[in-house]
Structure 1
Amino acid sequence: MPVIQILPHPEYCPQGATVSAPAGTSICEALLDNGIPIEHACEMSCACTTCHVIVRKGYDSLNPTEECEDDMLDRAWGLEPQSRLSCQAILAQQDLVIEIPRYSINHAKEGAPT
């Protein structure tokens, strides 16, 4: 079972965390299942960027991005070459190290009109 090391994040896991999840699980599901409340405003439908993560180790083991994810990532705050939407990044057998960006674009959380 792959292990995900989450680097410290001031809101979600200030000390950092290590979780495991079965291959075939999305990073987002793995985090949520292990008590790390990463934002996922669109309920994991690839319609926002609130679950954006940066994969610091193990990026190439994940499934390839699809056009919908690539289009959404263009809107993500702090985009890097190894950025993924955690709801679309599916675990294989390799361990990962991820970073959850400090900020996300979440109009609902920021109080913008809906």
Structure 2
Amino acid sequence: MPQIVVLPHATLCPEGAVLEAPAGRSVCDVLLDNDIEIEHACEKSCACTTCHIVVREGFDSLNEQLEKEEDLLDMAWGLESTSRLSCQALVGEEDLVIEIPKYTINHARENG
């Protein structure tokens, strides 16, 4: 089973993490299932950018981006060439290394 290595994030995952990640599951769901409370203001419907991640390794193993995701990512804070919305990025057969950006464009966080 592929793994997701989550690089340390000051508030969401200070120590970093290594998570088992079933192929076909969204990165967002894997994070949430493992108590890493990544923001997902639109309830994972690809309508915001609060679940933005940067894929440091394994980017090409993810599913293809749809145009809607590409358009939304243009508004994400800290956009990089390997940025994805974690609610849309489906785990493939390879391990991933991801970074959760320090900031989002969400002005009102529900859980904090």
Calculate the TM-score normalised by the size of structure 1: 0.94
- Counterparts of 1:50 and 1:108 in 2: how far apart (Å)? 11
One-letter code of the match for 2:89? A
Give 1:87 shift: 0.2
Give 1:21 shift: 1.8
CA RMSD of aligned residues (A): 1.1
2:101 corresponds to: 101
- Counterparts of 1:88 and 1:107 in 2: how far apart (Å)? 22
Give 1:109 shift: 2.4
- Counterparts of 1:21 and 1:80 in 2: how far apart (Å)? 23
2:31 corresponds to: 31
- Counterparts of 1:53 and 1:14 in 2: how far apart (Å)? 16
1:12 corresponds to: 12
For the pair 1:41 / 2:24, whether they are aligned, the reply is no
Moved >4 Å (runs of 4+): none
- Counterparts of 1:52 and 1:64 in 2: how far apart (Å)? 16
1:2 corresponds to: 2
Unpaired runs of at least 5, structure 1? none
Calculate the TM-score normalised by the size of structure 2: 0.96
- Counterparts of 2:95 and 2:101 in 1: how far apart (Å)? 19
2:69 corresponds to: 69
CA-to-partner distance for each residue in 1:59-91, whole Å, 9 max, x for gaps?
A: 000001000000100000000000000000000
Give 1:23 shift: 0.4
- Counterparts of 2:48 and 2:2 in 1: how far apart (Å)? 26
- Counterparts of 1:2 and 1:67 in 2: how far apart (Å)? 26
- Counterparts of 1:95 and 1:109 in 2: how far apart (Å)? 30
1:22 corresponds to: 22
One-letter code of the match for 1:94? E
The number of residue pairs the alignment matches comes to 110
